[in-house]
Structure formats: C-alpha cells, structure tokens
Chains A and B, each alone.
Chain A
Amino acid sequence: MALEYTDKVIEHFRNPRNVGVIENPDGIGKVTSPICGDIMELYIKVKDNIIVDAKFQTFGCAAAVASSSILTEIIIGKPVKEALKITNKRIVKALGGLPKEKLHCSVLAEDGVKSAIEDYLRKAKRR
C-alpha cells in the first residue's frame, strides 16, 4: 500500500504534540479501534468547564498518531461541551485529509475525546 499522507499528517507524526500522561487527570479515555486494533489513551485536565490540558499515548500507525496529536491541539482551551461535539471529520479536515483506508484512525481520536469527557462528567457528578 503506497502511503499518501499529507504534509500535515507527516509533520504531526514526526513531532507529535502533547504526548504523555497527566498525573491526577480529570478524565481518562481509553479506546481501541474495532477496525485495526490501534489503541489510544487520552488524559484531560478541566478547569471551569474548559479543557486546560490534554495528553495522549497511542499505539498505532502514522494516521492514528497524527489524529491523536492534532486532537489535543484542537481541544485544549475549548469548553467541554464544545469538545464533545468534535467529529472525526473535523480531525480529518485539520490534517488536510487522510487516505480512505485510514479514516477509521480519526474515528479513534473522536472516540478518545468522547470517552475522556464522559469519564470527566461521571467523576464530576460524583463530587
């Protein structure tokens, strides 16, 4: 399979932003792609309903890593409610496109942020 990644994808893959783990996060999302088995973990820190920090770790291909990386850039500084509305299409657009067979990698990132926010909301309710 020839690789048809955009410069943006390659750039995020080579220099991924916000890699790592947040100690005492407000929400954690751990998701696995049902399509290929890639795994993403997303940690978020929330203050006054705004995502103030996000870090990720991803076991996956260049598209999965780039999707995770750009997702963290998109969500940091966003209100939780807005971040919850982010779709994989938004991620693909931000990356300047993904090869057709790699679209599911952007779904992994969408699932990751939803899962992390749901975890945050669950924990917030308990407090």
Chain B
Amino acid sequence: MNEKFIYLDHNATTPADLRVIEAMRPYFNELYGNPLSLYKFASKSREAVELAREKVAKLLNAEPNEIIFTSGGTEANNVAIKGVAHANLTAVRQVKKRGNHIITSKIEHPAVLKPCKWLESQGFKVTYISVDKYGVIDLDELRDAITDKTILISIMHANNEVGTIEPIEEISRLAKEHNVYFHTDAVQTVGKTSTNVDELGVDLLSLSGHKFYGPKGVGALYIRRGTKLVPFVHGGGHERNLRAGTHNVPGIVGLGKACEIAELEREEAKKLKRLRDKLYQGIMDKIPEVIFPGHPENRLAGTLSICVKYVEGESMLINLDFEGIAVSSGSACASGSLEPSHVLLAMGIPREVAHSSLRFSLGRDNTDEDIDKVLTVFPNIVKKLRKISPFGKHR
C-alpha cells in the first residue's frame, strides 16, 4: 500500500484545511478562556467566537446575530425542526402560526427524517413529499400538502447521495405565500455553492463545518430575525438561550476560518465539475449498463452517483478500497440498516439497482491522476464482479 491514497468521499467528510487548523491552535491551551467569563483574558475567546460568527454570517449574507453555533449539522437540524414545532406547543408569543403539520421530503438526510419521525410520535403530522427520477421535489405535491395547520417546511438544499440541488427559491415563495417557516439542510452546499439566505429566501439554514474543510463537531444554524424557536438544549444562557453549553471555541474559530476560505475558493466548483465530468465520461465509455442517478445539470459539482447493474455496491467499494480508493455506497449491504438507499428508492430506482449503487464525491485535493487511476482500475473490478454475478451470464 505505498500507492497514493485517493479520497473520493468528500460528501461524507473532508480533511480540515491547514489554515483552519492553524487558526484553531491557539484556542486550545493559550487563549482557552471561557467566552462568558468576565476578565480580560476571556474576552479574547469571546472576540474570536464573535469574529467567527461574522465570517459565517458573511458567507450566508446574514447578520451575525442570526447565527447560532451548534455541534454540527445534525444538531442544527434538530434545533430548527424541534424548535419550531415546540414553539407551537408552548406559550411563545408571536409564533408565526399555530399548527401541528410539518412538510419535508422523502430524500432528506436521517438528521431531518428522524426528528420528523419523532415529532410524529409526539402528535405532529408530517407529510413526506415525493421526488421525480432526478431527485427533484414535486412542487405541485408540496403546494397541495400545505394546510392552515402547516407550521414548517424542511427541504434540503442539495442531496448528499445524488447531489441534486432542490428548487429552494420556489419552495420559499410557496412558504411565504402561506406564512409557513422554511428550513433548509444546507450541509452539502455551504462552502460549495452560493448559499445567500436572502436569495434562497429561507428562515432557517443548517450547516456543518467538516463538510467544507472545517473541523468536525461544529456547525451552525442560521435563524432569520423574528423566527420563533424554543430551545432544545437547556442550560447556561449561551447562544441567545437557544443552545446552551460552553462554546467549542477552537471548533467555532475553525468553522469561521473555513467560511472565509470558502469565499476565496469560489472557483473551485469549476475544477470539481471538470474532474467529475471526466469521471462520468470515462465510466460511460468503459463500463456498459451503468445508470447515473441525480439531476444532469442541477447537481453538486463534485458528486457522481452511479448504479452498476448486476454488481452489489459494497463489493465494489471493498475492491476499490483494496486499490486505496475511498468511496461510499447506498447498497443495502453497505448501509448497516440492510435497506437500500431511501433516496434512490424514492427516485423510482428498483431495489436491485439501488443495491448496485456507488457514490464518488470529489474535493479540493483531487487531481486528474486520481480520476485516471479510478478509470484504470474500476472497469476491471466491475468485470471481475460481474463474472461472479448470476446476472452476468445472461449477457
């Protein structure tokens, strides 16, 4: 294994940028004060947190006081969804609208689906909107689902498995027309594509540091001024009482730095798209009977989802791993839940085809050589596995 390790799973996580790590370093044991302490020493930590808040806000075109820090994307989603839901149960004044109905989609990340499922167990009603074959939300179904009891729509900005970008602007217009809060899980888009909250028209937006070269264990929730939430983690008065717990100062500083770097690297999407398209073209040319789920154009630049018919996904993943190439799969065998990807199934892909899924997600450090290597070894892996497959002999 002296070959170069090729990492093609950036939708799962990314390496922290060295500039991020450098920015974080002093806040572990030099400037370690608690931002809420009153002496001068601690004010350095407080200033660092507030500077990071400004950087996050700038990337989203928001105000700093509209950003709260969380432990990551999952927590941001929980704060947003449960926060709006519970504001409807409690005596919060000026809540936008009273009701018990939430609308989301069938292709959300579990970090949205599971809070919604849990709220169903607490008496809320949830509608799960369908998607078309490209993974795009059915806007007509969404429009028809809105009732006078609807309090929240939560639709992801881009899907983590297939990369399809959802029509957020259209959804936010619908939400506004009906006076409903709109939350988007933008964990896959922040730092990769434009996430201007005014252009998107969202009230709440979740993001996660480690998806765009920041540290793990830190994220943020954008909360448009005036949006009524009740807190989800109770304790000290941190983050405007919305998220108690001593600030993860190094993490927050790292997140701020990652946002700053993302603004500098806006051209990166072009490179990722070129490499991704090269990979797509190469697979098209070299491997028969492959399908490519995901929207052909409105898709994250670095994401390529494929289903290689007659071959199970995990078996491809492990063979690529032998070659030092890291990817992921939505196959039932790879999921741990023994169910093929709910995203692919919602897109109308048959179970046995979803069982053959593989996701390549490219990032900053990938090169042409990386793609060349994949295109050299991957067709042979497929050929070998198709020989083992009972479907193989019919062709």
At the interface, is chain B mostly helix, strand, loop or mixed?
Answer: helix
Q: How far is the CA of A104 from the CA of B333 in the complex (A)?
A: 11
- A3, A14, A57: which has the most chain B beta carbons within 10 Å? A57
Judge whether A121 is part of the interface by a CB distance below 8 angstroms.
no
**Count of chain B residues near A, Cβ 8 A:** 26
CB atoms of A64 and B333 under 8 A apart: yes
Contacts A1-B334, A13-B318, A37-B351 given: A61-B389 contact, CB under 8 Å? no
Q: How far is the CA of A61 from the CA of B315 in the complex (A)?
A: 5
Interface positions, chain B 374-395, Cβ under 8 Å from A, are 387-393
Q: How far is the CA of A13 from the CA of B390 in the complex (A)?
A: 16
* Residues of chain A within 8 A of B367, CB atoms compared: none
CB atoms of B390 and A14 under 8 A apart: no
* Residues of chain A within 8 A of B10, CB atoms compared: none
Contacts A1-B335, A3-B318, A64-B333 given: A41-B390 contact, CB under 8 Å? yes
* Residues of chain B within 8 A of A30, CB atoms compared: 390
Q: How far is the CA of A21 from the CA of B310 in the complex (A)?
A: 16
Interface positions, chain A 1-21, Cβ under 8 Å from B, are 1, 3, 5, 10, 13-14, 16, 19, 21
* Residues of chain A within 8 A of B340, CB atoms compared: 37
* Residues of chain B within 8 A of A118, CB atoms compared: none
* Residues of chain B within 8 A of A101, CB atoms compared: 336, 338
Can you name the residue of chain B whose Cβ is closest to the Cβ of A16? B388
Per-residue CB contact flags for chain B residues 331-348 toward chain A (1 = under 8 Å, else 0) read 111111010100000000
Given contacts A38-B333, A61-B334, 9 further A-B contacts (CB under 8 A): A3-B321, A36-B338, A37-B352, A38-B312, A38-B355, A57-B392, A57-B393, A59-B391, A61-B331
Interface residues, chain A, with chain B CB atoms under 8 Å away: 1, 3, 5, 10, 13-14, 16, 19, 21, 30, 35-41, 57-65, 101-102, 104
A–B complex contacts, Cβ < 8 Å, 6 sampled: A30-B390, A57-B393, A58-B388, A61-B334, A62-B314, A62-B318
